[in-house]
Structure 1
Amino acid sequence: MRVPLSWLREYAAIPVETSVADIDAALVASGLEVEEVHDLRENVTGPLVIGRVDSIEELTEFKKPIRYCKVEVGEDEPRGIVCGARNFAEGDLVVVSLPGAVLPGGFAISARKTYGRVSDGMIASARELGTGDDHDGIIVLPADAGLTPGADARQVVGLDDVVFELAITPDMGYCFSIRGIARELAHRLKVTFADPALSVVEPTATARPPHPVSILDTVGCDRFATRAVRGIDPAAASPDWMRRRLVHAGMRPISIAVDITNYLMLELGQPLHAFDLATLKGSVVVRRAETGERLTTLDDVERVLDQGDMVICDDTGVISLAGVMGGETSEVSPSTVDVLFEGAHWDPPAIAATSRRHRISSEAAKRFERGSDPALCAIAVQRAAELLVASAGGTIDEAVGDIDHRAAPAVIRIDPRLPSRIVGHDYADTEVIEQLTAAGCVVNPVGETLEVTPPSWRPDITDQADLVEEVVRLDGYDRVPSMLPPSPAGPGLSVHQRRRRHIGRALAAAGYVETLNYPFLDPTVLDRFGLEDDDPRRTMLRLANPLVDSQPALRTTLLPGILAALKTNVDRGIRDVGLFETGVVFQPKSGWDTVPALDLSVTQRPDDADLALADALRPHQPQHVAVVFTGKAEIDGWWGAGRDADWSDAIAAARTIVEAAGLELVVEAGRHAPWHPGRCAVLRVGGEIIGHAGELHPAVCDVMDIPRRTGAMEIDLSRLPVAETVSSPQMSHYPVALIDVAVVVDDAVPAATVAEALSDGAGELLESIRLFDVYRGESLGAGRKSLAYNLVFRAPDRTLTAEETVAARDHAVTLAADRCGAQLRSV
């Protein structure tokens, strides 16, 4: 909202010496956002004076009419000025920019020869001065204004003003008016405030209104006031002072009746509507729209109305979309002589819904949806009628219409010590009463409490918290101490939180980049993954109001989101990609779809039965971690050839995670969509399956439009047990004994199973075991393989003998033979 300072000064006694910066700071301290300050005094620099046209010479030798004027500007001799405008005559007072002046846009004025004459200045139009859009003619000043040629013209044309551009927050809707902003500014600057609403005597409703009106929905409209003016001059123009203020406020002057409604909307915050009485047919009816009704609004758009829309009708049908925009059939026109002003109070939620439904963000709707002042309806129409008669003649109809169904204002009880307890700053009881009174409230002390009645223009004040906020805001946020409340020492991070962070750091150290994706899922992705119909991942929660229609469910696996991130990187030319993500998935509880819908109250605590239902609807949310990659695991360089990432890197990522959790991983071959059936590993910890890893199925890669051989891994972190506290190992300074063991087993026996058996059999002397060779050949027989392990033995208190090392080796081979059918390889 654009607010001229001169208009604010009319109601807030701001001292002349108060700087623009101080006013800016006061507005901000009141809770208003100052987006920009336009100092109109800087629009035109140099001499801008009032001139009187002494003579006009018509130059007819050119293609268009040109005038050479002699203009008196307070100097010894008149100046000659060439002008093409036709809307002035000899003796008129005009605005003249003399040589040396610079107009908006950097247009410098100088004496120059044009049309065969020397033009020693310029007679200015409103657009050239930046005070309006009118460029059809120059500014002609009123002859009876007592203006002297040569005097500075800035004050006359409004170039001595400052305009503040404010962003009004939703909770301060009353500041969508000069009245509201002046009230706030006067309080902040500690000056007097003159309420413009008190300058008008509120008329009393008469038995016969100026036009018959009935309200069928008193919830949607609880007050409807009307006043009529008959016999106006339809050609009358709006006064210059009103047009100037409208332009400064960012509105275009239209006609006298419409300009008055816009002016009062800006001044009082009460939108009005002007009807042409001659076009109204029968009684005016205020009601909700009916299905199928249509209305062509003032913007020439035919709109299909909704049953929730408040409308104004006559015998011809709907003539106005109430509180939002009028209809074209009853608007005032250049021939209107009888005007009916209407001022109403509309239900804010209804106006907000209508405005959004029809996508009309009118100035009236902005004010009504935030809550206008219902006490102003009759005052505003009375003021409109008086302004119209003053400018366009006519007479005010003695009849006054005012249908009033307002409810009595609610009274809020509050302990005057409550602001101090909540904010932490000591407010005396008298200060609380003073600030609430400044906010417009009526405060009555009753015992140790206060009975507070909010003002009619503050529908946002509904409870004690709102009153506390007003006390703090009006007293000044800068007085609230800037100190953090004391907080008890917490337990720190939980075991699971520390583990998640440790896993994240380990994956980042391994070269993976963390990504965060939305937890929403397109169910068709699971079809592309090739999941079976009974796969648990297909049981998902659907959102009642999804952000994106194509993703209506909550994810049951991290893979769709992280694979989409991988695809985005590949599409943008990054060929070697490794990503990881940690996040929750959502698994509905058994029988969740049979639990009845739950509507919990926001005014009271749910009972145990409601909490039990809510818990039944709340899904399991286990923490998962996923890794995906494609491209090179090791890049090419001068040091040699690189290596393509493959299924083994997925298993290596799983080992990184499990080792970071302080646990041991067991890897087995398996089959699990969307992985390649021959390159998929089942991941176990403590005998429980925690996830899968390997290479994605080629068909899945194709349908997801990602490179083939893409690897992926997903682990359910909630299935990982908490690792026991590990004691610091004792370091032995005695030498190690190294023995290599090669055993032959069936091809289906996992190498990890053999390593586990060897480790158990070797006993406490075994320090480490490592697989260093896998061999298959005819000498071993079909379906057989040779696994070679490096065993490292060490004792903490002595040097091992050869006999001890061989005995430990033999025990290891024996146990491997018992468990896995392993045979010691001799060749």
Structure 2
Amino acid sequence: MRLPLSWLKEYVDIPAGADVEQALIGLGIEVDDVVDQGATVTGDLVVGRVLTIEELTGFKKPIRFCTVDVGNPEPQEIVCGARNFAEGDLVVVILPGGVLPGGFAIGARKTYGRNSHGMICSARELGLGDDHDGIIVLRSGTPGEDARPVVGLDDVLFELEITPDRGYALSVRGIARELSHAFGTPFRDPALGAATAATPEPAYDVRIEDTVGCDRFAARAVRGVDPSAATPAFIAQRLTTAGIRTINLPVDITNYLMLELGQPMHAFDLGLLTGPLVVRRARAGEKLTTLDGVARVLDAEDMVICDDSGPISLAAVMGGETSEVQPTTVDVLFEAAHWDPVMVGRTARRHRLFSEAAKRWERGVDPQLPLVALERAVALLVEHGGGTPDGRVLDVDNVRPLPPVSLDSALPARRIGVPYTRERVVQLLGTIGCAVTGGDVLTVQPPSWRPDLTDPADLVEEVARIDGYDNIPSELPPALAGRGLTAGQRRRRSVGRALAEQGYVEITSYPFVPADADDAFGLPADDPRRSAVRLTNPLSEEEPRLRTSLLPPMLATLRRNLGRGHRDLALYELGLVFEPRLVAAAAPAMGVAHRPSDADWAAADATVPRQPWHAAVVLTGDVAPAGWWGAGRPASWSDAVEAARTVVAAAGVADDRVRVRAAERAPWHPGRCAEILVGDVVVGHAGELHPSVLATLELPRRTCAAELDLDAIGPADLPTGPAVSGFPPALIDVALVLDATVPAAEVQEVLAAGAGPLLESVRLFDVYASDALGAGKRSLAYKLTFRAPDRTLAGEEAVAARDAAVAAAAARFGAVLRGA
């Protein structure tokens, strides 16, 4: 929202030299920008008087050659294409060397066969409006004087970001009141003017069928308006400053009062209304073409204003085409109502129609404003557009006062840490318009414009805000004795550190995924990962579900980085996944007055999705870069498996409890996928992603990934110190020929089991395949280390243990010693 300082000064006295920006920030109002309009035009911008006009002919459009008195001894020669001025008129002239908004520099040049020294300016060229058909003609001024104050370019604009709970601040009235709190100066409330009360005979027949959706509806009429009456300059300029397009006088008045008071209004053409008005909920399937030209299908929750022809306005959001003010309108009906904020918010989102009115209604509007706004609208229209006000006034008022709030007068001091006395609390709450009664326990009646004040915490916040956030001491609270990080937190940090040390880069993804993510990953129809939580109100309709795997958003990040020129990527993420519990029962209702019972807690928890922590990695490109030292090494499924082993090891699991075996699981390649087991529990999968998945996601071939469930790994093993023997090892290598389909990890497990207690370690160090070995055969070479804890092993003992290991592999897999 953009507001000029001059408008604010009409309702609040601002001390000379006061820092308005810091005052607003101190009140909790975010200031996005401060624009000094005078600085938007540099150089000489002066008032000029047109002395002579010569019409130039022979060109495609009318051109005038003018001499203009700009306060210099000699008149200024200027070529201009506008025709809405005459000799003797006062105009705005920018002289050579000046720069208009947008960086448009002005110089002296020859054009249309004449020399032109400067420019006669229109409102759009000065950034004051949309009018570019004619130049600005001034009513008063002296040639040569600075034109900035004359045209309103001496103002300062504040661009503010208003939080959703403070709708009253979306108006000059609201911001001026806030500044009066900051500076301690009087506030002149524009809503305190006299307003004509409802008359026995209404201005127009109206029936309200739903007093929840609309608890107040007021209307007044003005007849005989001059349809050609122009919007006065001060209204047009302030609307343009706020980013609102000027349309016609009646509509501009409603928008002007919305900015000034915070009360959205609507102007109907009385001649286009047929029969009485009815305010009701829409009937599902009804249609309405709104002022933006879009035909909308209405929902049963929408509120509409109807006449005998059907819906003519989408209430509180946007009017309809059939009843809008026309260029020929002479009789105008102004409507000012009060609508349910929840209804308006849902309607605006449903129709994707976030009008200025809807933004205010969903944040809350003062229900006491309708008659005041109507009074001001009628007066402005009669003053600037003629016409006669209809003496009849409609006001259907079903507004209920805001409920009072009980507040312990000592609560602000306890919560904020500032010693507010009871008297100070009462004073501060009274400053914002609350009526406060009572002793130690105060009864606080919020003002009509503050529907956000609903509980003691809101009042505590207001006490701190109005007293000044700067008065709150910056002291850290004392740290309570505790045990530090939880076991889960330590595990996640250890895993993250271990992956980062291996060269992986951490990312944090949004937990939202598209509805078709399961199809893109090729998940079977019965895969439990297809059962996902769907959000009722997602941030994006394209991603309405919560992830059941970390991989979909991670691969989207991978693709985005590839598109930006990165080729070698290794990413990791630690995050929650969401596994729905398919239960029929709803969560029990639980208040905040006391702790829920164990039964209620268990029943509520049963309806919440399981949220285990997962760790995942994705990698593509080279893991070892190429250079003068030789070729690089591309990432492969084995790197993903090694990353999975790193995760398990960092989680505190002993290596002898970890097993890796071949598996099939989407979205991995069936022949290059491994499952990771801790004991007998499968905790994750790793390997190369399926080619069809990579093609669908537009990712490079051989892209690999791993994902593990950290919560399924179980508690960390108790670390024990390694047994160190002072006796020498016996090192024996064995090369086994066996079927290429036999996993190397399973062979290693069998060798370890067969070798007996003398085996200290076994490690695969070579894989060899050749036609000489036989079709479908390969050689796996292992390095076996034997050592006894209490003696030096005899060669025969080591060979016997080696033979036992080979025999176990031969019995299990049909392995044969290579060269035997």
Q: TM-score surpassing 0.5?
A: yes
Matched letter for residue 7 of structure 2: W
Tell me the secondary structure at the aligned position of residue 28 of structure 1.
Answer: helix
479 and 730 in structure 1: CA distance in 2 versus 1, 3 angstrom threshold: same
Alignment of 1:79-478 (within 5 A): 84-89=81-86, 92-97=88-93, 99=95, 102=98, 104-105=100-101, 123-142=120-139, 151-198=145-192, 200-444=193-437, 446-478=438-470
Tell me the secondary structure at the aligned position of residue 323 of structure 2.
Answer: coil
| Contact 2:89-2:137 at 8 Å conserved across structures | yes
Distance 2:687 2:81 in 1: 83
Residue of structure 1 in register with 2:4 after alignment: 4
Q: Cα distance, 1:400 vs. partner?
A: 2.1
464 and 729 in structure 1: CA distance in 2 versus 1, 3 angstrom threshold: same
| Contact 1:38-1:162 at 8 Å conserved across structures | yes
Q: Cα distance, 1:99 vs. partner?
A: 4.6
Alignment of 1:761-776 (within 5 A): 762=758
Identity %: 53
Distance 2:196 2:453 in 1: 28
Structure 1 residue 37 and structure 2 residue 26: aligned? no
Matched letter for residue 308 of structure 2: D
Tell me the secondary structure at the aligned position of residue 237 of structure 1.
Answer: coil
Q: Residues 63-107 of structure 1: CA distance to partner in whole angstroms, max 9, x if unpaired?
A: 5656566666667887776655443445x5412437567252466
Distance 1:247 1:551 in 2: 37
Q: Cα distance, 1:48 vs. partner?
A: 4.7
Distance 2:114 2:201 in 1: 66
| Contact 1:213-1:285 at 8 Å conserved across structures | yes
Indicate which of 592, 604, 607 corresponds to 1:614: 604
Tell me the secondary structure at the aligned position of residue 250 of structure 2.
Answer: helix
707 and 384 in structure 1: CA distance in 2 versus 1, 3 angstrom threshold: closer
Q: Cα distance, 1:757 vs. partner?
A: 4.2
Residue of structure 2 in register with 1:543 after alignment: 534
Deviates more, 1:1-10 or 1:679-688: 679-688
Tell me the secondary structure at the aligned position of residue 379 of structure 2.
Answer: helix
434 and 76 in structure 1: CA distance in 2 versus 1, 3 angstrom threshold: same
Alignment of 1:808-823 (within 5 A): none
Q: Cα distance, 1:651 vs. partner?
A: 5.9
Q: Residues 338-358 of structure 1: CA distance to partner in whole angstroms, max 9, x if unpaired?
A: 322222112222222222233
Matched letter for residue 597 of structure 1: A
Distance 2:243 2:797 in 1: 97
72 and 377 in structure 1: CA distance in 2 versus 1, 3 angstrom threshold: same
| Contact 1:672-1:692 at 8 Å conserved across structures | no
Deviates more, 1:783-792 or 1:659-668: 783-792
Alignment of 1:371-770 (within 5 A): 371-444=364-437, 446-510=438-502, 537=528, 540-543=531-534, 545=536, 582-583=574-575, 593-598=582-587, 600-601=589-590, 606-618=596-608, 620-625=610-615, 656-660=646-650, 661-665=653-657, 667=659, 672-673=664-665, 685-686=678-679, 716-720=709-713, 722=715, 724-729=717-722, 734-736=726-728, 738=730, 740=732, 750-760=747-757, 762=758
| Contact 1:738-1:793 at 8 Å conserved across structures | yes
Distance 1:772 1:67 in 2: 92
Tell me the secondary structure at the aligned position of residue 342 of structure 1.
Answer: strand
Residue of structure 2 in register with 1:13 after alignment: 13
524 and 813 in structure 1: CA distance in 2 versus 1, 3 angstrom threshold: farther
Q: Cα distance, 1:378 vs. partner?
A: 0.6
Distance 2:520 2:228 in 1: 72
Distance 1:481 1:682 in 2: 55
Alignment of 1:70-85 (within 5 A): 84-85=81-82
Tell me the secondary structure at the aligned position of residue 170 of structure 1.
Answer: coil
| Contact 1:540-1:553 at 8 Å conserved across structures | no
Distance 1:45 1:523 in 2: 54
Tell me the secondary structure at the aligned position of residue 20 of structure 2.
Answer: helix
Distance 1:516 1:525 in 2: 19
Give the RMSD, CA atoms, in angstroms: 4.7
Tell me the secondary structure at the aligned position of residue 259 of structure 2.
Answer: helix
| Length, aligned pairs only | 803
Q: Cα distance, 1:744 vs. partner?
A: 9.8
Distance 2:635 2:125 in 1: 70
- Unaligned 5+ runs, structure 2: none
101 and 778 in structure 1: CA distance in 2 versus 1, 3 angstrom threshold: closer
Distance 2:736 2:297 in 1: 83
816 and 375 in structure 1: CA distance in 2 versus 1, 3 angstrom threshold: same
| Contact 1:294-1:303 at 8 Å conserved across structures | yes
Distance 2:69 2:697 in 1: 81
Q: Cα distance, 1:810 vs. partner?
A: 5.8
| Contact 1:769-1:792 at 8 Å conserved across structures | no
Distance 1:265 1:221 in 2: 18
Q: Cα distance, 1:773 vs. partner?
A: 8.7
Q: Cα distance, 1:313 vs. partner?
A: 2.3
Tell me the secondary structure at the aligned position of residue 127 of structure 1.
Answer: coil
Q: Residues 273-331 of structure 1: CA distance to partner in whole angstroms, max 9, x if unpaired?
A: 22233333332222222334333333333333332222222233332222222233333
Matched letter for residue 484 of structure 2: G
Q: Cα distance, 1:620 vs. partner?
A: 5.0
Deviates more, 1:694-703 or 1:275-284: 694-703
Matched letter for residue 311 of structure 1: V
Matched letter for residue 445 of structure 2: T
Q: Cα distance, 1:470 vs. partner?
A: 1.3
645 and 221 in structure 1: CA distance in 2 versus 1, 3 angstrom threshold: closer
478 and 624 in structure 1: CA distance in 2 versus 1, 3 angstrom threshold: closer
Q: Residues 421-458 of structure 1: CA distance to partner in whole angstroms, max 9, x if unpaired?
A: 111122222322222122122222x1212222111111
Distance 1:727 1:373 in 2: 70
Q: Residues 705-749 of structure 1: CA distance to partner in whole angstroms, max 9, x if unpaired?
A: 8788777666554454545544445756x5525364979999998
| Contact 2:587-2:603 at 8 Å conserved across structures | yes
Matched letter for residue 463 of structure 2: V
Distance 1:74 1:701 in 2: 74
| Contact 1:48-1:101 at 8 Å conserved across structures | no
| Contact 1:741-1:824 at 8 Å conserved across structures | no
Q: Cα distance, 1:334 vs. partner?
A: 3.5
| Contact 2:45-2:95 at 8 Å conserved across structures | no
Q: Residues 555-606 of structure 1: CA distance to partner in whole angstroms, max 9, x if unpaired?
A: 6666777677778888989887666655555566xxx535423364565655
Distance 2:525 2:43 in 1: 82
Q: Cα distance, 1:125 vs. partner?
A: 3.4
Deviates more, 1:241-250 or 1:674-683: 674-683
| Contact 2:402-2:451 at 8 Å conserved across structures | no
540 and 250 in structure 1: CA distance in 2 versus 1, 3 angstrom threshold: closer
683 and 172 in structure 1: CA distance in 2 versus 1, 3 angstrom threshold: closer
Tell me the secondary structure at the aligned position of residue 299 of structure 1.
Answer: coil
313 and 809 in structure 1: CA distance in 2 versus 1, 3 angstrom threshold: same
Distance 1:529 1:46 in 2: 63
Matched letter for residue 36 of structure 1: D
TM-score by length of 1: 0.81
Distance 1:456 1:372 in 2: 9
Tell me the secondary structure at the aligned position of residue 166 of structure 1.
Answer: strand
| Contact 1:664-1:685 at 8 Å conserved across structures | no
Distance 1:234 1:553 in 2: 53
- Unaligned 5+ runs, structure 1: none
